[in-house]
Structures are given as structure tokens and as C-alpha cells.
Amino acid sequence: MIALGVDHVGSVLLADREWRQPLLRETVRVTQRAGRRSSLIPLSGDAEAIARALDYYAPDLVHYCEAIGADAIPGGEAQAFARQALLRERFPQVAVMRSIPIPCSGSREDGDRVLGLARRFAPISDFFLTDTLLGDPGAGSATPQPVAGFVGITGRTCDWDIAARLVEDSRLPVVLAGGLSPGNVRQAVLRVRPAGVDSCTRTNRLGATGEPVRFSKDPRLVEAFVCQARLGALSACE
């Protein structure tokens, strides 16, 4: 992936009980030795489990992706804020990327909620990453996400108009994610003008049924994605 031009490599911790994985730690080290940045994505709500992982892996960034602002977990937003603030104080050397959930299509009010959420988390974050929230957050609850309580890996694009509002409003760099592929990333860059782009599902290899295989990349798709993203960035600068 690094040889293909990827400059941030994310690694996912799926469960607290499986937090110690030497191969994953070596992935972090290889990424750092290559002059790229590593990101650890803990799918956990346990601050101590995350702290153990940050000690063990020593990544450049930690990426929090709870489905905040969607009433996915009662009191979840306040808990996520308190946990993130605590871990930021304990690990000041690790940059923080915070996922900001954005629906597939939204109203002006949805956009206002997204901006309010981002402004709340900005003082304890270094980057924002948009990701697609399934369902209607304005209705008081969201459709169950692919991973309960977290956003991402939907394969669907978020509302680019809301994402563009976030880019314009935020003092922090915003990375656009959610359903990006070699076929749409150039258009996305031109439309949203983000600081970077991220892809999971739509650059994964396809299984026997034609569906993306989770966490298994297709180098040809990754190479095409990087190329199209760079073309979009160049066009945006013209």
C-alpha cells in the first residue's frame, strides 16, 4: 500500500480481548519507518483497553469512530467526549482523528447538527474524518450500523454538501470518507475540497459473490484510487 502511494495506513482493533497482535504492531512500525503515518482504530468503549493498546502499538494517530450524535447509545456522545479527553491527556504524543457521522442525504438541520458536533469535539481533536451514518439521525435514532455503535464500512457515500460545509467551517483538517472508490474520488475531491480522502470498502478485493471482502485490499483499486485522488487535488488547485 505504501509503495502505491498511500501515506496513512489504518489498523483496526476489533475486540478488547484481542488487543495484543504482534503482526499489527509490526505493520505500525513498517509504516513509520517508511516515513508514513500509522493510525490505530479501536472498536472499543473501554478507556483502559484503548490505553493499553496505545502503549503497545505507539501509533501516530488514534482514530475514534463511535456513532456519536445518532442516539446509537444512550449518553454515548458525552461518554465518547469524556473518554477522548482523558486519553488525549494521557497520550499527548498521539494525534487524534475523530469520525463525524454524516447521513447519506440530509437536510439543512442535519448539516447544522454535524457542524455543532464537530465544534464540540474540535478542542480535543487534531483531524476530523467524515463517515457515512445509515438511517435518519433527525428522527432520534439511526439504522443499525455495520458495526454496532460505530460508523464506517458501509460502502455508501455521505452527503457531500454537508461534508463541504464541515470543511468550510472547521479549523481542523477534514478527511473525506464513506463509499469512495476510484470511480468517484476525483469528483468528491472537487466537490468537497477535503484535506485528504480515505477508502475502505470500495478499494477492497471482491469475494466469490462479488461483495467486498472486509480488510482485504485490492492493490489495483488502491493504485487507481490514489491516482484519481491526486488528479482531483491538482484540478482543485487550478
Q: What integer pLDDT is reported at residue 137 of this predicted model?
A: 60
How far apart are the C-alpha atoms of 211 and 152, rounded to whole Å? 16
pLDDT digits (tens, 9 = 90+) for 115-172: 999 999 999 999 999 999 887 665 555 567 777 778 888 889 999 999 999 999 999 9
What does the domain layout of the chain look like in residue ranges? 8-237
pLDDT tier for residue 179 given thresholds of 50, 70 and 90? very high
Strand, helix or coil for residue 117: helix
* Confidence (pLDDT) at 142: 56
Give residue 50's identity as a one-letter amino acid code. I
Distance CA 126, CA 171 (A): 10
Quick one: pLDDT at residue 18? 83
- At residue 112, what are phi and psi to the nearest 5 degrees? -60, -40
pLDDT band at residue 70 under the 50/70/90 scheme: low
Judged by average pLDDT, the poorest of 10-19, 76-85, 135-144, 214-223 is 135-144
* Inter-CA distances, 106 with 35, 112, 137, 157, 188, Å: 38, 10, 9, 12, 17
Query: In this structure, are residues 77 and 68 in contact, taking their beta carbons and an 8 Å threshold?
Result: yes
Rounded to 10°, the helix 160-169/185-192 angle is: 50
Q: What would the mean pLDDT of 216-229 be, rounded to a whole number?
A: 96
Q: Which CATH class is domain 8-237?
A: alpha beta
Q: How confident is the model at residue 15 (pLDDT cuts 50, 70, 90)?
A: confident
Using the predicted structure, report yes or no on whether residue 186 has a pLDDT greater than 80: yes
